[in-house]
Structure 1
């Protein structure tokens, strides 16, 4: 059950923004920037504006998720996890729509500023990244709000979107913004970041599997069922570890880079908890542990690459 919270506007907006999800949004930016430093193309302005854009897009996605789930009825009294601002009455739907609009505009301004710093007058790169930015904005909004039908997050496609936007696009896009070049080997850490971010989503979806199923929110966990969703979780973590080892061996880095493997222990602990309990509070804790592990992984590997 959710806890009641006094109506304070600032608190309501911070609640809806779900600040605890922001480390995950930053992980791919930090990793891509570390790879850029290893390649000798790091730019401080690109890092700062990339982080700002990613954070605003994540907040936009969280606001849209709060709004969309409230409109669909998924966020009822039986739901476990954090209090939702619209469903609990802390914010009205109209206020949330205005908040989404302002956050989307801020993300667009930050993104365009990022492109100016990264590319100057290179119109071809501008066009490609404007299209990618538009896709990111659309994906952030339509995850639970949808356009012309059910949101894609309600059809089991959220995992694919998270893998692409928090992994491949986040890491490789950041690397390209710094260096205007890519290497084939770069796809390995990008895939790892995406796999770990998808594991975070899977913990969330397993936690909410029963309430989601009752309300027709057909996440991949609902489609698989809990037992197979847990097997899927272990596959995500195992594949991430394997790809990391391949990358570290292929591209020798200092010991700081290898220290990214320390996250294997908390990730394993979170996976065991996911396998053994249905307690919502414990699973929420494991969700946070998995997200923070992803951030630590990215920081340590980025540091190792920068020192290489």
Structure 2
């Protein structure tokens, strides 16, 4: 049973969530502010939210019949019968509460009783709601082609800038550039997932952005996301850093960019839906690699 739950947590999605926290904290280090306790509490809260999202996604798609024998990707827990819808619903409630408690603890440590605590509390509630409403309910936004927008906002702007603010206690609008990059990479992962599932999603009425665009235009949208990310990255590096930091970050960006160049080529040439699946891991891990490299560059230099 434990094996089934670990599978339902979808651990391969966690690197992307960690990328958001690491980039936000990397920028905080860049500004000379870093509290390890806040860092680890942010990681805990982020991982709980990601697992909550995965469980809610399994539950929502499972009870709607979206996850069926025609699905190309890995089998989900409800789809396979490993976990019942009732059990999954209970797990969603438990992880929503754990995310809430962890988030409250994080805010009390980082912001104490400052006015911003209440604003971040509302953002936390919104994040929990977004994690659940992606596939759950009649108005699930993932079924209306809005998943990419929510991923860009919560994995990019809100996630990165939120983690940054909790450390620095101020907002520098230049920090939105790395946040845009992480948001674009995260949206690219979702786009890969939806390109893989386009045929089945279209049949069951899950109108993702890919279903609306069609595969040809979804591929164009995919490499546009990477173009946006690298414009944001190079603008930030060239305007906000100098000396050794700038040189190292340009090298890191070029190396990760090389990985993404080969990735985009494979996506463009892909003929079978199953070919998109291994690319999810490549984009997620390369995004994590980029965030880790930025963190240590700012920490050491």
Are the counterparts in 1 of residues 38 and 106 from structure 2 also a CA contact under 8 Å? Answer: yes
- Which of 139, 148, 167 is equivalent to 1:150? 139
- Which of 264, 267, 271 is equivalent to 2:260? 267
Within 5 Å, which residues of 2 pair with 1:213-252? Answer: 213-252=202-241
Tell me if 1:295 matches 2:276.
no
Tell me if 1:26 matches 2:18.
yes
TM-score by structure 2 length?
0.96
Q: Pick closer, same or farther for the CA change 1:278–1:15 going to 2, 3 Å.
A: farther
Are the counterparts in 1 of residues 195 and 273 from structure 2 also a CA contact under 8 Å? Answer: no
Residue 126 of structure 1 deviates from its aligned partner by 1.1
Which residue of structure 2 lines up, in the alignment, with residue 4 of structure 1? none
Within 5 Å, which residues of 2 pair with 1:1-308? Answer: 9-122=1-114, 124-146=115-137, 149-253=138-242, 254=245, 255-261=247-253, 262-308=255-301
Residue 130 of structure 1 deviates from its aligned partner by 0.5
The CA distance in 2 between the partners of 1:152 and 1:67, in whole Å, is 15
Deviates more, 1:268-277 or 1:19-28: 268-277
Are the counterparts in 1 of residues 263 and 279 from structure 2 also a CA contact under 8 Å? Answer: yes
Are the counterparts in 2 of residues 256 and 303 from structure 1 also a CA contact under 8 Å? Answer: no
The CA distance in 2 between the partners of 1:58 and 1:10, in whole Å, is 18
Could you tell me which runs of 5 or more consecutive residues in structure 1 were left unpaired when the two chains were aligned.
1-8
Residue 280 of structure 1 deviates from its aligned partner by 4.0
Task: Output the aligned Cα RMSD.
Answer: 1.2
Are the counterparts in 1 of residues 24 and 164 from structure 2 also a CA contact under 8 Å? Answer: yes
Residue 270 of structure 1 deviates from its aligned partner by 1.9
Secondary structure, counterpart of 2:80 in structure 1:
coil
Residue 23 of structure 1 deviates from its aligned partner by 0.5
Are the counterparts in 2 of residues 257 and 302 from structure 1 also a CA contact under 8 Å? Answer: no
The CA distance in 1 between the partners of 2:47 and 2:290, in whole Å, is 18
Residue 121 of structure 1 deviates from its aligned partner by 2.4
The CA distance in 2 between the partners of 1:252 and 1:178, in whole Å, is 20
Are the counterparts in 2 of residues 156 and 218 from structure 1 also a CA contact under 8 Å? Answer: yes
For this pair of structures, how many residues does the alignment match? 297
Are the counterparts in 1 of residues 178 and 233 from structure 2 also a CA contact under 8 Å? Answer: yes
The structure with the greater share of residues assigned to helix is 2
Describe the superposition over 1:159-190 as per-residue Cα deviations: whole angstroms up to 9, x where unpaired: 00000000000110000000111111111001
The CA distance in 2 between the partners of 1:137 and 1:197, in whole Å, is 18
Q: Pick closer, same or farther for the CA change 1:259–1:114 going to 2, 3 Å.
A: farther
Could you tell me which runs of 5 or more consecutive residues in structure 2 were left unpaired when the two chains were aligned.
none
The CA distance in 2 between the partners of 1:60 and 1:188, in whole Å, is 28
Are the counterparts in 1 of residues 196 and 274 from structure 2 also a CA contact under 8 Å? Answer: no
TM-score by structure 1 length?
0.94
The CA distance in 2 between the partners of 1:303 and 1:87, in whole Å, is 41
Residue 243 of structure 1 deviates from its aligned partner by 1.2
Secondary structure, counterpart of 1:86 in structure 2:
helix
The CA distance in 1 between the partners of 2:186 and 2:10, in whole Å, is 16
